[in-house]
Structure 1
Amino acid sequence: MRTLTYAAVLAAGALLAIPALAYDGTKCKAAGVCWEPKPGFPDKIAGTKYDPKHDPKELNKQADSIKAMEERNRKRIEAAKKTGKFEYDVSKIAAN
């Protein structure tokens, strides 16, 4: 009975290992460095029609929002130091 179980486990393991041995079509330059472009794509993207050419305004949106957040927090802290109470809504701080 054990022999039959071991044989079944070995057969199942062999069947699962077969796809791992298949050639995936990549040519590795070194171990773990197997990236290659799809056919028709250039090796380097910069300067080609596939280059996204990001708009600097779009790239700076997060930095601008962080600066605005820090300015609101500065106003909140200043108002809290003056009044002794923390007000979250910055528009209410400006009204005081």
Structure 2
Amino acid sequence: MKFEHRTVALALAAALCSAPFGAALAYDGTKCKAAGNCWEPKPGFPDKIAGSKYDPKHDPKELAKQQTSIQGMEARNQKRIAYFKKSGKWIYEVDKIPAE
């Protein structure tokens, strides 16, 4: 029993002693642009992203995908609503809505 308590006490003491050293390596907030604005980029990361290797160059087609899908969804919803107003029946699958 005494051996287990001693082992736990030593492990706890080692953990407490190593905590200040780990905290000393953390950012201390001494290089602040303004009060509370102490963010700094990692070493080697540019101050401005535009034109650097970190600048994302998106394809306009990729950026337009979400807008295209939203427009398709709205068109399908319009067909569903128009058929519901006319017939009183709700059909979710647009392909199953009878053509006039």
Distance 1:94 1:29 in 2: 64
Residue 69 of structure 1 pairs with residue 73 of structure 2:
yes
Aligned residue in 1 for 2:39: 35
Segments of 5+ residues of structure 1 without an aligned counterpart are 1-14
Question: What count of residue pairs does the alignment treat as equivalent?
Answer: 83
Residue 70 of structure 1 and its aligned partner are, at CA, apart by 0.5
Q: Any residues of structure 2 matched to 1:48-63 within 5 Å, and which?
A: 48-63=52-67
Residue 24 of structure 1 pairs with residue 27 of structure 2:
yes
**TM-score, normalized by length of structure 2?**
0.67
Distance 2:38 2:63 in 1: 30
Distance 1:94 1:53 in 2: 45
Q: Which ranges of 4 or more aligned residues in structure 1 deviate by more than 6 Å?
A: none
Residue 77 of structure 1 and its aligned partner are, at CA, apart by 0.6
User: What's the % identity of the aligned pairs?
Assistant: 67
What are the superposed Cα offsets for residues 21-58 of structure 1, whole Å, 9 maximum, x if unpaired? 85615411111211221111110011111111111211
Name the SS for the 2:97 alignment partner: helix
